[in-house]
A and B are shown apart, each in its own frame.
Chain A
Amino acid sequence: AAGVIQSPRHLIKEKRETATLKCYPIPRHDTVYWYQQGPGQDPQFLISFYEKMQSDKGSIPDRFSAQQFSDYHSELNMSSLELGDSALYFCASSFPGQGGETQYFGPGTRLLVL
């Protein structure tokens, strides 16, 4: 079965650079979530989108922004990168989109900021 696709899988950036992470949800899933997992930490919710509209917002820094496109893929844009942004970034998707449906996670993008 098709799974959530994330790209790139690995990314190395320097401080103050920008990064764009992409997420392609499971076909027919209309809700996308972004999570950040720091070393030795549990995943922390950043932001979610349902039908291309932001549906919830968590501990996402102002330097980060995200959107969902008409084909339901999502991009997380990260600017002025800091060392502390080094983490695994997971995207998850669910269907039909509201209230507690099971979320399926992509393999993650491992971001290293030097």
Chain B
Amino acid sequence: RKEVEQDPGPFNVPEGATVAFNCTYSNSASQSFFWYRQDCRKEPKLLMSVYSSGNEDGRFTAQLNRASQYISLLIRDSKLSDSATYLCVVNSGGYNKLIFGAGTRLAVHP
């Protein structure tokens, strides 16, 4: 079982749709949580950090539930440019290394 689990998708949604991604992690000692996006053959780019209180950045909202070890990402008003793979990422509990989920593919169509 992977340490970070995500639904691989793909999620095919029309422009303007709202889409939600979920992620679970197994290491209860994990301290930092992130969503990265990765375009094909490119590097992962930080989308947002995820805090226990929840946080929002424009059309993107992230939530963290430490008790359930569950992370979510909500994208509102999807744009064609949102098409990418979204990686749920946690740090390994006190160390620097990041543990990646397998990613959820999103395809936004006109």
Q: Which residues of A contact B (CB under 8 A)?
A: 31, 33, 35, 41-45, 48, 50, 55-56, 58, 88, 90, 92, 94, 97-108, 110
Contact = CB atoms under 8 A, between A and B. Distances in A.
Interface string B88-110: 00011011111111110000000
B43 A108 contact: yes
B97 A105 contact: no
B43 A106 contact: yes
Interface residues of B, number: 23
Contacts, number: 63
B97 A48 contact: yes
Contacts of B44: 43, 90, 105
Among all A-B residue pairs, the 9 with the closest Cβ atoms: A100-B32, A42-B100, A105-B43, A45-B97, A100-B91, A56-B95, A42-B102, A100-B31, A43-B100
A44 B45 CA distance: 16
Given A42-B103, A48-B97, A102 B31 contact: no
Given A90-B43, A104-B46, A33 B102 contact: no
A44 B21 CA distance: 21
B61 interface: no
A112 B6 CA distance: 28
B100 to A, nearest CB: 4
Nearest to A58: B97
Given A42-B87, A42-B102, A102 B96 contact: no
Contacts of A104: 46
Contacts of B42: 107-108
Contacts of B91: 99-100
Given A107-B42, A107-B43, A102 B49 contact: yes
Given A42-B103, A45-B99, A108-B42, 13 more contacts: A42-B100, A43-B44, A44-B100, A45-B98, A58-B97, A90-B44, A92-B98, A100-B91, A100-B96, A101-B96, A102-B46, A103-B98, A105-B44
